[in-house]
């Protein structure tokens, strides 16, 4: 399939249905927002919906445009602008609105879905309203839009809804909650149903995790040239076999996410060790863990903000001649993620040595990665966020995807298009030389498939 040309046919700004009250105009970031990726980084997601009639596109887009102002009243910071400078950012909830693009492309959605990953990655970027990973040149004068939307109509009638929301303001769970709230409002028939369609939004993050005026800058890590992203597919059957393989001789059976994390980490370590000249290979594993349900006083899932913390493994050192044991790695993965409990999270809410220790552990890993070249394999799982339940009135998505982060050793785990969590798509970004070794790992290929 030749690369399709996406034509922007309209560009408007959509504002909240009701103005934001004066006492809510200044939205503070929490400590967890501060240590999240910079405001120049957006969370991108594209939802694809099948339809048979191209004439339906104007009606579908109109439904989205009509319901979006209603949900923006609830998620009022999304219509504001990020202002301030490093360590002093906030959202000016000025109701300036959200950029909304309409686009057309002649290709069929069914043809797009048959493309290999490399072709799809090129196409997906054209379905997003902006480049989500372009660092701003002058971060001392912040004035960034928080959110943008692009609705693209395929020649067959199918559509793609591409959304980018600033990572400084939210995590994947927030994006999922927003899309659910938007789809509920689109499904509502009248105002009374709209009022009942969404639970009150929780915005307590800045109170529970007071800001400290810090920022962790990863802009220099974004956009490395010698990296590549590929998608690896794990079917329900292969995941069952992988879990059995890992649990052999152990007292626990890993979850699907733990199993895939373990196999990818092992395969990546072996790929790096094969291509490097040193005799030692060391690395970290980091998992972004949603803390809403893990806090001593749990928060609802629709709580807005970067309510995740990095679960960081101990530094793993492997001799060049030694084999990386799958079971041992699985135990490290499980212990690392399990450490994130209520007591662990409470350390980020403190003021003293415990908080300093937590922040220093993150900075130490960043130092080892950027200054010493120690690889940190960073995982983020969206497997259970319910994106496939996002129904705007024309059925559930045919496919939901993101794009690879242009930072080496970052892995996104997504549910497969069946939407029931039975399979996992792993979007893996590695150094190009490492990827050549990684994609030919015999053990990996026992359980995963990919597009060459």
**pLDDT tens per residue, the chain (452 residues)?**
445 689 999 999 999 999 999 999 999 999 999 999 888 899 999 999 998 776 689 999 999 999 999 999 999 999 999 998 877 889 999 999 999 999 999 988 988 888 877 778 888 999 999 999 876 544 444 568 999 999 999 988 899 999 999 999 999 999 999 999 999 999 885 444 444 444 568 999 999 999 998 877 776 677 677 999 999 999 999 999 999 999 987 778 899 999 999 999 999 999 988 876 554 578 999 999 999 999 999 999 999 999 999 999 999 987 665 567 899 899 999 999 999 999 999 999 988 889 999 999 999 998 898 888 899 999 999 999 999 999 999 999 999 999 888 889 999 999 998 756 689 999 999 999 999 999 999 999 999 998 77
Number of CB atoms found within 10 A of residue 80's CB: 27
CATH architecture, range 7-208: 2-Layer Sandwich (3.30)
CATH classification (class only), 220-450: alpha beta
For residue 156, the model assigns a pLDDT of 84
- Evaluate whether 283 touches 376 at the Cβ level (below 8 Å): yes
List beta partners, residue 10.
Answer: 102
> Which ranges constitute the DSSP H helices of 197-254?
205-208, 236-247
First to last CA, the chain: 16
User: Do the domains 220-450 and 7-208 match in fold?
Assistant: yes
8 Å CB contact between 213 and 397: no
Ranges of beta strands (E only) in 119-277 are: 142-145, 147-153, 159-166, 227-234
According to DSSP, residue 220 is labeled G
Gap between the Cα atoms of 107 and 94, Å rounded: 39
The pairing of strands 90-92 and 98-104 is unpaired
Cα dihedral sign, 418-423-429-430: negative
CB 35 within 8 A of CB 214: yes
Handedness of CA 100, 205, 380, 317 (dihedral sign): positive
Domain boundaries, the chain: 7-208, 220-450
Identify the pLDDT of residue 223.
67
Give 154's strand partners. Answer: none
DSSP 126: H
CA 359 to chain centre: 22
Contact, 35 vs 359, CB < 8 A? yes
pLDDT of residue 420: 62
Residues 6+ apart with CB under 8 A from 119: 1, 3
Residue 87 class from Cβ within 10 Å (0-12 exposed, 13-18 middle, 19+ buried)? exposed
Residue 86's pLDDT is 73
Tell me whether residue 382 is exposed, middle or buried, using C-beta atoms within 10 angstroms of its C-beta: 0 to 12, 13 to 18, 19 or more: buried
Give dist(CA 167, CA 164) in Å, integer: 9
Distant-in-sequence, close-in-space partners of 154: CB < 8 Å, separation ≥ 6: 105, 107, 108, 109, 112, 160
Q: What is the C-alpha to C-alpha distance for residues 229 and 240, in angstroms, rounded to an integer? A: 25
pLDDT at res. 1:
46
């Amino acid at each position: 399939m030749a690369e399709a040309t996406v034509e922007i046919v309209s560009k408007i700004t959509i504002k909240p249905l009701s103005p934001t009250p004066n006492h809510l105009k200044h939205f503070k970031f929490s400590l967890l927002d501060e240590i999240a990726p910079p405001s120049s980084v957006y969370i991108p997601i594209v939802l694809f919906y099948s339809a048979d009639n191209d004439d339906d596109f104007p009606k579908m887009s109109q439904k989205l445009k009509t319901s979006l102002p209603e949900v923006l009243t609830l998620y009022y910071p999304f219509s504001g602008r990020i202002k301030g400078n490093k360590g002093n950012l906030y959202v000016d909830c000025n109701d300036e609105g959200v950029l909304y693009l309409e686009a057309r492309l002649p290709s069929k959605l069914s043809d797009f879905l048959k493309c290999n990953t490399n072709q799809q990655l090129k196409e997906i970027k054209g379905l997003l309203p902006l480049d989500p990973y372009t660092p701003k040149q002058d971060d001392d004068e912040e004035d960034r839009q928080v959110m943008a939307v692009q609705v693209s109509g395929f020649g067959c009638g199918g559509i793609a809804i591409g959304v980018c929301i600033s990572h400084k303001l939210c995590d994947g769970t927030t994006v999922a909650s927003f899309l659910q709230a938007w789809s509920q409002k689109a499904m509502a028939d009248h105002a009374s149903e709209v009022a009942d369609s969404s639970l009150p939004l929780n915005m307590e993050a800045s109170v529970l995790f007071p800001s400290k005026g810090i920022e962790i800058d990863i802009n220099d890590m974004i956009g490395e040239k010698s990296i590549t992203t590929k998608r690896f597919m794990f079917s329900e059957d292969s995941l069952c076999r992988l879990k059995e393989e890992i649990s052999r001789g152990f007292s626990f059976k890993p979850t699907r996410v733990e199993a895939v994390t373990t196999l990818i980490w092992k395969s990546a370590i072996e790929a790096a060790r094969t291509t490097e000249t040193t005799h030692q290979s060391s690395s970290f594993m980091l998992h972004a863990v949603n803390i809403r349900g893990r806090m001593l006083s749990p928060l609802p899932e629709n709580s807005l903000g970067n309510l995740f913390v990095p679960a960081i493994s101990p530094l793993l050192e492997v001799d060049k001649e030694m084999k990386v044991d799958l079971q041992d790695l699985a135990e490290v993965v499980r212990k690392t993620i399990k450490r994130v409990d209520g007591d662990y999270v409470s350390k980020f809410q403190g003021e003293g040595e415990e908080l300093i220790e937590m922040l220093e552990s993150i900075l130490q890993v960043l130092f080892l990665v950027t200054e010493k070249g120690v690889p940190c394999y960073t995982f983020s799982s969206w497997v259970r966020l319910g994106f496939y339940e996002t129904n705007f009135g024309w059925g559930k998505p045919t496919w939901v995807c993101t794009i690879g982060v242009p930072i080496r050793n970052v892995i996104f785990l997504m549910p497969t298009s069946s939407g029931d969590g039975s399979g996992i798509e792993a979007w893996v970004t590695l150094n190009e030389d490492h990827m050549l070794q990684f994609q030919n790992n015999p053990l990996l290929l026992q359980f995963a498939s990919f597009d060459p």
